[in-house]
Amino acid sequence: MEANFNVSMNEYLPLRDVVFNTLRQAILRGELKPGERLMEIQLANKLGVSRTPVREAIRKLELEGLVLMIPRKGAEVADISEKSLKDVLEVREALEELAARLACDKITKEGINRLKEAAQDFRSALKSNDITQMAEADVRFHDVICNATENQKLGQLLNNLREQMYRYRIEYLKDQHVYEKLLSEHEEIIRHIEKGEKDEAARVVSRHIENQAQAVADVIRTKKN
């Protein structure tokens, strides 16, 4: 187990939650790979904790579908399946379209400026060769749109989905051929939101997510063959 991650202590959270969040992020970011075994003793030693919070974290990760318990083998990171991708992206597409429509009505001039800055930050991140940095910059771009809606419930739902999307977003961004398309779609989204064009903004957001879904599905199929 050579994954490069460490536990970040938080005095406001129980240790079991800190360990859970650490392992969850490691899986979502691809630092713990699909099919990789999760050995309690090794993880406990790596994180500098006892086996108990690690065991509890693994159980919670199993409930989230990020970990599988294999008879006579133990816990391992769940594979990225086309079905789970489809389930997550169907919901995300509907929510992101709603966010774009609401943002058309509510976004301020300052919000548009933040959106343009986020798009530029993403453009810069694409030159870094740091996949995690790229993914986080992409998340920030969509967060600006979500925040512009002033709808806390929508924000909570999208935040939860974006955590689950991390694995797929990382796979998508490994392909440099999609970068120009991503940048173009971001610019289109900004233009339509700035003009208050709800249908057009929703259409581009939908295409943006569907392109991602297709690209990741292709990666999943390729890995199976």
User: What single-letter amino acid sits at 62?
Assistant: E
Tell me if residue 96 falls in helix, strand or coil: helix
Q: How far apart are CA 15 and CA 9, in angstroms?
A: 8
* Mean pLDDT within 128-138: 90
CB 65 within 8 A of CB 78: yes
CB 38 within 8 A of CB 19: no
Q: What tens digit of pLDDT does each residue of 9-36 get?
A: 666 678 888 999 899 888 887 889 889 9
* Mean pLDDT within 113-128: 97
- Please tell me the predicted confidence (pLDDT) of residue 6: 64
* Mean pLDDT within 196-214: 95
> Is residue 164 predicted with pLDDT exceeding 90?
no
- Answering whether pTM is above 0.95, one says no
> Is residue 215 predicted with pLDDT exceeding 90?
no
Write out the two tokens for 82. Answer: 């086309």
- Please tell me the predicted confidence (pLDDT) of residue 155: 94
> Is residue 202 predicted with pLDDT exceeding 60?
yes
- Please tell me the predicted confidence (pLDDT) of residue 197: 98
- Please tell me the predicted confidence (pLDDT) of residue 8: 63
